[in-house]
Chain A
Amino acid sequence: MYLSPSRITLGVFVLLLALSPVAALAQESADAAGGAIDATDAVEETIEVKRPDLKEPKHTSLKFLRDNRVFLRSQLDRLRLQVTRERGDGAVILDERYLRLEEMSAAIAAACDTVRSGQELAARRDLMESVTQLGEMEGELTLMETLVAEQQRRLLALEKDFLGHQETALVIVVRGLSGKGAPASIEIAEENEVVRVDLTREQQRSLEQGGIAQVFHEFVEPRAHTLAVSFAGSSWAGAAPLSVTVETTRDRLTFLELDLSRLDPNQPTLGLLTSTWYR
Protein backbone atom coordinates (compact mmCIF):
# COMPACT_ATOMS: atom_id res chain seq x y z
CA MET A 1 0.00 0.00 0.00
CA TYR A 2 1.31 3.38 -0.94
CA LEU A 3 0.76 6.43 1.27
CA SER A 4 1.41 9.87 -0.08
CA PRO A 5 3.45 12.35 2.05
CA SER A 6 0.37 14.52 2.58
CA ARG A 7 -1.57 11.54 3.91
CA ILE A 8 1.23 10.66 6.28
CA THR A 9 1.34 14.25 7.59
CA LEU A 10 -2.43 14.21 8.14
CA GLY A 11 -2.24 10.86 9.90
CA VAL A 12 0.47 12.08 12.26
CA PHE A 13 -1.55 15.24 13.00
CA VAL A 14 -4.65 13.17 13.85
CA LEU A 15 -2.59 10.86 16.04
CA LEU A 16 -1.13 13.84 17.90
CA LEU A 17 -4.61 15.27 18.44
CA ALA A 18 -5.79 11.95 19.82
CA LEU A 19 -2.83 11.57 22.16
CA SER A 20 -2.72 15.15 23.41
CA PRO A 21 -5.31 14.67 26.22
CA VAL A 22 -3.44 11.57 27.38
CA ALA A 23 -0.20 13.48 27.34
CA ALA A 24 -1.81 16.36 29.24
CA LEU A 25 -3.21 13.93 31.82
CA ALA A 26 0.15 12.27 32.21
CA GLN A 27 1.76 15.67 32.68
CA GLU A 28 -0.81 16.60 35.34
CA SER A 29 -0.19 13.33 37.14
CA ALA A 30 3.51 13.94 37.02
CA ASP A 31 3.00 17.48 38.30
CA ALA A 32 0.77 16.22 41.07
CA ALA A 33 3.31 13.62 42.06
CA GLY A 34 6.03 16.20 41.96
CA GLY A 35 3.93 18.50 44.09
CA ALA A 36 3.42 15.77 46.65
CA ILE A 37 7.15 15.18 46.86
CA ASP A 38 7.76 18.88 47.26
CA ALA A 39 5.12 19.08 49.97
CA THR A 40 6.78 16.23 51.81
CA ASP A 41 10.13 17.86 51.50
CA ALA A 42 8.84 21.17 52.81
CA VAL A 43 7.40 20.03 56.13
CA GLU A 44 6.98 22.90 58.52
CA GLU A 45 6.53 22.18 62.17
CA THR A 46 4.59 24.59 64.31
CA ILE A 47 4.01 24.44 68.02
CA GLU A 48 0.70 25.35 69.53
CA VAL A 49 -0.02 25.25 73.23
CA LYS A 50 -3.38 23.85 74.27
CA ARG A 51 -5.01 22.44 77.34
CA PRO A 52 -5.81 18.73 77.17
CA ASP A 53 -9.43 17.73 76.82
CA LEU A 54 -10.15 15.93 80.05
CA LYS A 55 -12.83 13.34 79.44
CA GLU A 56 -14.20 11.31 82.27
CA PRO A 57 -13.79 7.63 81.39
CA LYS A 58 -17.01 5.70 81.09
CA HIS A 59 -15.60 2.80 83.04
CA THR A 60 -13.48 3.20 86.12
CA SER A 61 -10.13 1.60 85.63
CA LEU A 62 -7.06 1.17 87.83
CA LYS A 63 -8.99 2.53 90.81
CA PHE A 64 -6.54 1.42 93.49
CA LEU A 65 -3.67 3.03 91.60
CA ARG A 66 -5.51 6.31 91.29
CA ASP A 67 -6.68 6.28 94.92
CA ASN A 68 -3.22 5.43 96.24
CA ARG A 69 -1.04 7.21 93.73
CA VAL A 70 0.83 9.16 96.39
CA PHE A 71 1.79 6.02 98.31
CA LEU A 72 2.79 4.08 95.20
CA ARG A 73 4.73 6.98 93.76
CA SER A 74 6.56 7.45 97.04
CA GLN A 75 7.57 3.78 96.95
CA LEU A 76 8.80 4.07 93.38
CA ASP A 77 10.70 7.26 94.14
CA ARG A 78 12.92 5.24 96.44
CA LEU A 79 14.06 3.02 93.58
CA ARG A 80 16.73 3.47 90.98
CA LEU A 81 17.00 1.55 87.76
CA GLN A 82 20.22 -0.07 86.71
CA VAL A 83 20.23 -1.15 83.08
CA THR A 84 22.68 -3.92 82.15
CA ARG A 85 23.11 -4.79 78.51
CA GLU A 86 24.93 -8.01 77.74
CA ARG A 87 26.45 -8.18 74.30
CA GLY A 88 25.86 -11.52 72.67
CA ASP A 89 28.59 -11.12 70.09
CA GLY A 90 31.24 -10.46 72.74
CA ALA A 91 34.45 -8.63 72.03
CA VAL A 92 35.84 -8.16 68.54
CA ILE A 93 39.53 -8.58 67.86
CA LEU A 94 40.66 -5.73 65.65
CA ASP A 95 43.25 -5.51 62.94
CA GLU A 96 45.95 -3.25 64.36
CA ARG A 97 46.16 -1.39 61.06
CA TYR A 98 42.68 -0.10 61.78
CA LEU A 99 44.11 1.81 64.70
CA ARG A 100 46.86 3.30 62.56
CA LEU A 101 44.49 5.28 60.42
CA GLU A 102 45.50 8.43 62.19
CA GLU A 103 49.17 7.71 61.45
CA MET A 104 48.24 6.96 57.86
CA SER A 105 46.44 10.26 57.55
CA ALA A 106 49.47 12.03 58.98
CA ALA A 107 51.77 10.21 56.52
CA ILE A 108 49.59 11.26 53.63
CA ALA A 109 49.70 14.84 54.80
CA ALA A 110 53.49 14.60 55.12
CA ALA A 111 53.77 13.25 51.58
CA CYS A 112 51.73 16.17 50.33
CA ASP A 113 54.11 18.54 52.08
CA THR A 114 57.09 16.77 50.52
CA VAL A 115 55.64 17.10 47.06
CA ARG A 116 54.79 20.73 47.64
CA SER A 117 58.30 21.56 48.88
CA GLY A 118 59.79 19.77 45.85
CA GLN A 119 57.65 21.88 43.57
CA GLU A 120 58.74 25.03 45.33
CA LEU A 121 62.37 24.01 45.05
CA ALA A 122 62.00 23.42 41.35
CA ALA A 123 60.34 26.78 40.92
CA ARG A 124 63.23 28.50 42.65
CA ARG A 125 65.83 27.03 40.29
CA ASP A 126 66.87 29.83 38.00
CA LEU A 127 68.94 27.91 35.53
CA MET A 128 68.88 24.34 34.35
CA GLU A 129 72.32 22.96 33.59
CA SER A 130 71.15 21.11 30.55
CA VAL A 131 68.06 20.32 28.55
CA THR A 132 68.34 16.68 29.64
CA GLN A 133 68.18 17.68 33.32
CA LEU A 134 65.18 19.83 32.55
CA GLY A 135 63.43 16.82 31.03
CA GLU A 136 64.28 14.70 34.08
CA MET A 137 62.94 17.36 36.38
CA GLU A 138 59.69 17.51 34.45
CA GLY A 139 59.31 13.74 34.66
CA GLU A 140 59.94 13.87 38.41
CA LEU A 141 57.34 16.57 38.85
CA THR A 142 54.80 14.60 36.82
CA LEU A 143 55.43 11.56 39.01
CA MET A 144 55.02 13.60 42.17
CA GLU A 145 51.80 15.09 40.90
CA THR A 146 50.48 11.61 40.19
CA LEU A 147 51.40 10.56 43.73
CA VAL A 148 49.64 13.56 45.17
CA ALA A 149 46.52 12.80 43.16
CA GLU A 150 46.49 9.19 44.34
CA GLN A 151 47.02 10.17 47.93
CA GLN A 152 44.24 12.70 47.73
CA ARG A 153 41.94 10.02 46.35
CA ARG A 154 42.81 7.70 49.24
CA LEU A 155 42.30 10.47 51.75
CA LEU A 156 38.90 11.29 50.30
CA ALA A 157 37.91 7.63 50.53
CA LEU A 158 39.00 7.49 54.17
CA GLU A 159 37.16 10.68 55.00
CA LYS A 160 34.04 9.36 53.31
CA ASP A 161 34.24 6.17 55.38
CA PHE A 162 34.73 7.87 58.70
CA LEU A 163 33.24 11.32 58.41
CA GLY A 164 30.25 10.79 56.13
CA HIS A 165 27.02 11.00 58.16
CA GLN A 166 28.90 10.21 61.31
CA GLU A 167 26.90 10.51 64.50
CA THR A 168 28.42 10.92 67.91
CA ALA A 169 29.77 7.55 68.86
CA LEU A 170 32.32 6.05 71.20
CA VAL A 171 34.57 3.10 70.49
CA ILE A 172 36.58 1.60 73.32
CA VAL A 173 39.47 -0.73 72.55
CA VAL A 174 41.61 -2.70 74.95
CA ARG A 175 45.22 -3.69 74.40
CA GLY A 176 48.42 -4.38 76.26
CA LEU A 177 47.64 -7.73 77.85
CA SER A 178 50.55 -9.46 76.23
CA GLY A 179 51.97 -12.06 78.60
CA LYS A 180 49.26 -11.45 81.22
CA GLY A 181 46.13 -13.32 82.12
CA ALA A 182 43.30 -11.66 80.24
CA PRO A 183 40.11 -10.91 82.16
CA ALA A 184 37.06 -13.09 81.64
CA SER A 185 34.86 -10.07 81.19
CA ILE A 186 35.02 -6.30 81.06
CA GLU A 187 32.35 -4.04 82.48
CA ILE A 188 31.90 -0.45 81.42
CA ALA A 189 29.51 1.49 83.60
CA GLU A 190 28.24 5.00 83.40
CA GLU A 191 25.69 6.25 85.90
CA ASN A 192 23.02 3.57 85.88
CA GLU A 193 23.97 1.86 82.65
CA VAL A 194 26.34 -1.06 82.62
CA VAL A 195 27.69 -2.85 79.56
CA ARG A 196 29.36 -6.15 80.28
CA VAL A 197 31.42 -7.85 77.60
CA ASP A 198 32.29 -11.46 78.17
CA LEU A 199 35.48 -12.62 76.49
CA THR A 200 35.61 -16.10 75.06
CA ARG A 201 38.65 -18.24 75.77
CA GLU A 202 39.80 -17.67 72.20
CA GLN A 203 39.51 -13.91 72.61
CA GLN A 204 41.36 -14.05 75.92
CA ARG A 205 44.19 -16.00 74.27
CA SER A 206 44.33 -13.47 71.47
CA LEU A 207 44.62 -10.62 73.96
CA GLU A 208 47.28 -12.50 75.89
CA GLN A 209 49.25 -12.77 72.66
CA GLY A 210 49.18 -9.03 72.06
CA GLY A 211 45.85 -8.69 70.28
CA ILE A 212 43.53 -5.72 70.48
CA ALA A 213 39.85 -5.99 71.31
CA GLN A 214 37.01 -3.62 70.64
CA VAL A 215 34.77 -3.88 73.68
CA PHE A 216 32.36 -1.02 73.12
CA HIS A 217 30.87 0.79 70.14
CA GLU A 218 27.73 2.80 70.83
CA PHE A 219 26.12 6.08 69.98
CA VAL A 220 26.59 8.39 72.93
CA GLU A 221 25.71 11.90 73.97
CA PRO A 222 28.27 14.52 72.93
CA ARG A 223 29.62 15.37 76.37
CA ALA A 224 32.19 14.34 78.94
CA HIS A 225 31.64 10.78 80.07
CA THR A 226 33.05 9.38 83.26
CA LEU A 227 33.22 5.65 82.88
CA ALA A 228 33.91 3.04 85.51
CA VAL A 229 35.84 0.23 83.87
CA SER A 230 36.21 -3.02 85.75
CA PHE A 231 37.66 -6.39 84.92
CA ALA A 232 36.59 -9.80 86.16
CA GLY A 233 38.42 -13.08 86.04
CA SER A 234 40.55 -15.38 88.09
CA SER A 235 43.58 -13.10 88.11
CA TRP A 236 41.44 -9.98 88.37
CA ALA A 237 39.38 -10.91 91.41
CA GLY A 238 38.89 -7.99 93.73
CA ALA A 239 40.18 -5.42 91.26
CA ALA A 240 38.43 -2.12 91.89
CA PRO A 241 36.78 -0.29 88.99
CA LEU A 242 38.92 2.28 87.22
CA SER A 243 37.56 5.70 86.46
CA VAL A 244 38.17 6.98 82.94
CA THR A 245 36.94 10.29 81.58
CA VAL A 246 36.47 10.79 77.87
CA GLU A 247 35.01 13.72 75.99
CA THR A 248 33.01 12.69 72.96
CA THR A 249 32.74 15.21 70.16
CA ARG A 250 29.47 15.83 68.38
CA ASP A 251 29.08 13.95 65.09
CA ARG A 252 32.50 12.40 65.42
CA LEU A 253 33.71 8.91 66.15
CA THR A 254 35.69 8.97 69.37
CA PHE A 255 38.20 6.21 69.98
CA LEU A 256 39.26 5.50 73.54
CA GLU A 257 42.14 3.10 73.92
CA LEU A 258 42.75 1.42 77.27
CA ASP A 259 46.34 0.23 77.42
CA LEU A 260 46.68 -2.33 80.18
CA SER A 261 50.33 -3.09 79.62
CA ARG A 262 51.37 -1.40 82.86
CA LEU A 263 48.30 -2.31 84.84
CA ASP A 264 48.75 -4.57 87.85
CA PRO A 265 45.54 -6.35 88.91
CA ASN A 266 46.72 -6.06 92.51
CA GLN A 267 47.24 -2.32 92.20
CA PRO A 268 44.65 -1.31 89.65
CA THR A 269 44.62 2.36 90.56
CA LEU A 270 48.06 2.71 88.98
CA GLY A 271 49.16 2.07 85.50
CA LEU A 272 46.12 2.38 83.24
CA LEU A 273 47.19 4.25 80.12
CA THR A 274 44.54 5.85 77.98
CA SER A 275 44.60 7.66 74.71
CA THR A 276 41.87 9.26 72.67
CA TRP A 277 41.54 10.19 69.06
CA TYR A 278 38.76 11.26 66.80
CA ARG A 279 37.61 10.48 63.29
Chain B
Amino acid sequence: MSKVLTPLLIPLLATSIALQTSRMAGGQASSGSSQSSPGSPVTLGPVLKLTVNSNPLYRVSYTYDFPGQKDIYIRGVGTVSPKGRLNYLHSGETIEFLDSPSGNSLYVAKLEHPTILMGGSAPALPDEIQFPRESRRGHWRGQGPFAEKAFSVLEQYFRSGYRSFEKDSSLFYLTTYTEAPEAADGTRTQVSVLISHPAKSNPQDVAFTVAFTARERRSHTDWRDAASDASRKSAETFVDGLLNALQR
Protein backbone atom coordinates (compact mmCIF):
# COMPACT_ATOMS: atom_id res chain seq x y z
CA MET B 1 0.00 0.00 0.00
CA SER B 2 2.67 2.44 1.06
CA LYS B 3 4.67 1.55 -2.06
CA VAL B 4 1.72 2.62 -4.18
CA LEU B 5 0.97 5.79 -2.22
CA THR B 6 4.53 7.08 -1.84
CA PRO B 7 5.06 8.03 -5.52
CA LEU B 8 1.69 9.82 -5.45
CA LEU B 9 2.30 11.64 -2.16
CA ILE B 10 5.79 12.97 -2.92
CA PRO B 11 4.74 15.15 -5.91
CA LEU B 12 1.67 16.32 -3.96
CA LEU B 13 3.83 17.32 -1.01
CA ALA B 14 6.34 19.05 -3.25
CA THR B 15 3.55 20.97 -5.00
CA SER B 16 2.09 22.02 -1.67
CA ILE B 17 5.46 23.28 -0.40
CA ALA B 18 6.11 25.12 -3.65
CA LEU B 19 2.65 26.76 -3.49
CA GLN B 20 3.20 27.81 0.10
CA THR B 21 6.61 29.28 -0.70
CA SER B 22 5.29 31.23 -3.66
CA ARG B 23 2.39 32.48 -1.53
CA MET B 24 4.85 33.70 1.12
CA ALA B 25 7.00 35.44 -1.44
CA GLY B 26 3.96 36.86 -3.16
CA GLY B 27 2.59 38.10 0.14
CA GLN B 28 5.63 40.23 0.78
CA ALA B 29 5.75 41.57 -2.72
CA SER B 30 2.05 42.35 -3.03
CA SER B 31 1.72 44.17 0.27
CA GLY B 32 4.54 46.43 -0.67
CA SER B 33 4.20 46.30 -4.42
CA SER B 34 4.94 49.23 -6.68
CA GLN B 35 3.16 52.27 -5.32
CA SER B 36 2.87 54.70 -8.17
CA SER B 37 0.24 55.86 -10.55
CA PRO B 38 0.81 55.57 -14.31
CA GLY B 39 2.96 58.41 -15.58
CA SER B 40 4.30 59.14 -12.12
CA PRO B 41 7.96 60.23 -12.05
CA VAL B 42 8.59 57.92 -9.07
CA THR B 43 8.15 54.14 -8.99
CA LEU B 44 8.29 52.76 -5.50
CA GLY B 45 9.38 49.18 -5.00
CA PRO B 46 8.37 47.05 -2.01
CA VAL B 47 8.44 49.03 1.24
CA LEU B 48 9.46 47.18 4.40
CA LYS B 49 8.68 48.67 7.81
CA LEU B 50 11.25 47.93 10.51
CA THR B 51 11.52 48.99 14.11
CA VAL B 52 15.08 49.97 14.93
CA ASN B 53 15.94 51.29 18.40
CA SER B 54 12.17 51.66 19.05
CA ASN B 55 11.76 53.94 16.01
CA PRO B 56 9.96 52.99 12.79
CA LEU B 57 12.12 52.94 9.69
CA TYR B 58 11.16 52.11 6.12
CA ARG B 59 13.42 50.19 3.79
CA VAL B 60 12.60 51.86 0.49
CA SER B 61 13.77 51.28 -3.03
CA TYR B 62 12.54 53.40 -5.87
CA THR B 63 13.36 54.70 -9.30
CA TYR B 64 12.72 58.30 -10.30
CA ASP B 65 12.81 60.25 -13.50
CA PHE B 66 12.24 64.00 -13.70
CA PRO B 67 12.84 64.95 -17.33
CA GLY B 68 13.78 68.57 -17.95
CA GLN B 69 15.54 68.99 -14.58
CA LYS B 70 19.32 69.43 -14.33
CA ASP B 71 19.47 68.12 -10.77
CA ILE B 72 16.84 67.37 -8.18
CA TYR B 73 16.91 67.40 -4.40
CA ILE B 74 15.44 64.51 -2.40
CA ARG B 75 14.66 65.44 1.19
CA GLY B 76 16.91 63.41 3.48
CA VAL B 77 19.12 62.25 0.62
CA GLY B 78 20.57 65.35 -1.03
CA THR B 79 21.08 66.58 -4.55
CA VAL B 80 21.04 63.85 -7.17
CA SER B 81 20.71 63.46 -10.93
CA PRO B 82 17.15 63.79 -12.30
CA LYS B 83 17.03 60.10 -13.09
CA GLY B 84 18.17 57.22 -10.94
CA ARG B 85 17.45 54.47 -8.47
CA LEU B 86 17.90 54.54 -4.69
CA ASN B 87 17.64 51.99 -1.92
CA TYR B 88 18.01 53.01 1.73
CA LEU B 89 16.37 53.24 5.17
CA HIS B 90 13.99 56.20 5.43
CA SER B 91 12.48 57.57 8.63
CA GLY B 92 9.38 59.42 7.38
CA GLU B 93 6.17 58.26 5.74
CA THR B 94 6.72 60.42 2.66
CA ILE B 95 9.61 61.13 0.32
CA GLU B 96 9.72 64.63 -1.06
CA PHE B 97 11.38 65.54 -4.34
CA LEU B 98 12.31 69.21 -4.91
CA ASP B 99 13.99 71.11 -7.70
CA SER B 100 16.67 72.43 -5.31
CA PRO B 101 17.41 72.27 -1.52
CA SER B 102 15.20 75.29 -0.81
CA GLY B 103 13.19 75.16 -4.01
CA ASN B 104 9.77 74.00 -5.14
CA SER B 105 8.31 70.60 -4.49
CA LEU B 106 8.21 68.39 -7.58
CA TYR B 107 6.59 65.29 -6.17
CA VAL B 108 5.72 63.67 -2.86
CA ALA B 109 5.73 59.87 -2.66
CA LYS B 110 3.68 58.33 0.14
CA LEU B 111 4.89 55.09 1.67
CA GLU B 112 1.58 53.25 1.89
CA HIS B 113 0.86 49.69 2.97
CA PRO B 114 4.38 48.75 3.97
CA THR B 115 5.23 45.13 4.67
CA ILE B 116 5.86 44.83 8.37
CA LEU B 117 8.82 42.69 9.38
CA MET B 118 7.56 39.99 11.73
CA GLY B 119 9.74 37.54 13.54
CA GLY B 120 13.03 38.40 11.87
CA SER B 121 15.47 40.73 13.50
CA ALA B 122 16.00 44.23 12.15
CA PRO B 123 19.56 45.18 11.24
CA ALA B 124 21.58 46.69 14.07
CA LEU B 125 21.82 50.42 13.59
CA PRO B 126 23.69 52.48 16.19
CA ASP B 127 22.32 55.74 17.57
CA GLU B 128 23.87 59.00 16.43
CA ILE B 129 25.03 59.64 20.00
CA GLN B 130 27.18 56.50 19.86
CA PHE B 131 29.50 58.18 17.39
CA PRO B 132 32.47 60.13 18.70
CA ARG B 133 32.91 63.81 17.86
CA GLU B 134 36.22 63.12 16.20
CA SER B 135 35.84 62.35 12.55
CA ARG B 136 37.83 62.04 9.37
CA ARG B 137 37.44 64.78 6.80
CA GLY B 138 37.05 64.23 3.09
CA HIS B 139 36.36 66.32 0.02
CA TRP B 140 34.38 65.34 -3.04
CA ARG B 141 35.31 67.13 -6.26
CA GLY B 142 34.44 64.38 -8.68
CA GLN B 143 31.87 64.17 -11.41
CA GLY B 144 28.23 63.91 -10.35
CA PRO B 145 26.57 64.72 -7.06
CA PHE B 146 28.20 63.52 -3.83
CA ALA B 147 24.99 61.85 -2.61
CA GLU B 148 25.04 59.47 -5.59
CA LYS B 149 28.69 58.67 -5.04
CA ALA B 150 28.13 58.12 -1.31
CA PHE B 151 25.15 55.83 -1.94
CA SER B 152 27.03 53.72 -4.47
CA VAL B 153 29.99 53.31 -2.08
CA LEU B 154 27.78 52.58 0.93
CA GLU B 155 25.80 49.99 -1.04
CA GLN B 156 29.06 48.23 -1.79
CA TYR B 157 30.41 48.35 1.78
CA PHE B 158 27.23 48.02 3.87
CA ARG B 159 25.06 45.24 2.52
CA SER B 160 22.51 45.48 5.37
CA GLY B 161 21.69 49.05 4.43
CA TYR B 162 22.01 52.56 5.72
CA ARG B 163 19.73 55.30 6.94
CA SER B 164 19.64 58.61 5.19
CA PHE B 165 18.25 61.67 6.94
CA GLU B 166 18.41 65.44 7.17
CA LYS B 167 18.88 67.46 10.35
CA ASP B 168 19.89 71.08 11.03
CA SER B 169 20.67 71.80 7.36
CA SER B 170 22.99 68.80 7.15
CA LEU B 171 22.57 65.45 5.49
CA PHE B 172 23.55 62.28 7.34
CA TYR B 173 24.13 58.75 6.10
CA LEU B 174 24.14 56.39 9.06
CA THR B 175 25.04 52.81 8.22
CA THR B 176 24.33 49.44 9.75
CA TYR B 177 27.28 47.41 10.97
CA THR B 178 29.51 45.60 8.54
CA GLU B 179 32.45 43.28 9.06
CA ALA B 180 35.92 44.79 9.10
CA PRO B 181 38.91 42.49 8.44
CA GLU B 182 39.38 39.97 11.27
CA ALA B 183 42.17 40.81 13.70
CA ALA B 184 45.17 38.50 14.08
CA ASP B 185 43.95 37.19 17.46
CA GLY B 186 40.64 36.07 15.94
CA THR B 187 38.61 39.00 17.26
CA ARG B 188 35.80 39.94 14.89
CA THR B 189 35.18 43.64 14.38
CA GLN B 190 32.16 45.39 12.93
CA VAL B 191 32.05 49.02 11.90
CA SER B 192 29.27 51.52 11.38
CA VAL B 193 29.90 54.98 9.93
CA LEU B 194 28.11 58.31 10.03
CA ILE B 195 28.78 60.50 7.00
CA SER B 196 27.62 64.10 7.17
CA HIS B 197 27.78 67.02 4.80
CA PRO B 198 25.98 70.36 4.37
CA ALA B 199 22.65 70.10 2.56
CA LYS B 200 23.10 73.31 0.59
CA SER B 201 26.63 72.95 -0.70
CA ASN B 202 27.59 72.57 -4.34
CA PRO B 203 26.83 68.86 -4.97
CA GLN B 204 30.06 68.47 -6.98
CA ASP B 205 32.29 70.17 -4.40
CA VAL B 206 31.38 68.81 -1.00
CA ALA B 207 33.38 68.79 2.22
CA PHE B 208 32.18 65.85 4.31
CA THR B 209 33.07 64.10 7.54
CA VAL B 210 33.13 60.40 8.38
CA ALA B 211 32.78 59.34 12.01
CA PHE B 212 32.77 55.69 12.97
CA THR B 213 31.87 53.41 15.82
CA ALA B 214 33.09 49.84 16.10
CA ARG B 215 32.17 46.77 18.10
CA GLU B 216 34.02 43.55 18.60
CA ARG B 217 33.43 39.97 19.68
CA ARG B 218 35.34 36.79 20.10
CA SER B 219 33.94 33.47 18.92
CA HIS B 220 32.15 32.78 22.24
CA THR B 221 31.09 36.25 23.37
CA ASP B 222 28.44 38.87 22.68
CA TRP B 223 29.19 42.08 20.81
CA ARG B 224 30.79 44.85 22.86
CA ASP B 225 32.28 48.25 22.12
CA ALA B 226 35.60 47.83 20.39
CA ALA B 227 38.25 48.39 23.02
CA SER B 228 41.17 46.21 21.99
CA ASP B 229 44.02 47.69 19.96
CA ALA B 230 43.65 45.00 17.29
CA SER B 231 39.98 45.77 16.84
CA ARG B 232 40.47 49.56 16.76
CA LYS B 233 43.23 49.16 14.20
CA SER B 234 41.07 46.92 12.04
CA ALA B 235 38.21 49.43 12.18
CA GLU B 236 40.49 52.37 11.35
CA THR B 237 41.94 50.55 8.35
CA PHE B 238 38.43 49.84 7.10
CA VAL B 239 37.31 53.47 7.51
CA ASP B 240 40.45 54.75 5.75
CA GLY B 241 39.58 52.50 2.81
CA LEU B 242 35.99 53.78 2.82
CA LEU B 243 37.16 57.40 2.93
CA ASN B 244 39.42 56.80 -0.06
CA ALA B 245 36.55 55.17 -1.95
CA LEU B 246 34.32 58.17 -1.20
CA GLN B 247 36.86 60.59 -2.66
CA ARG B 248 37.75 58.66 -5.78
Indicate, yes or no, whether A interacts with B.
no
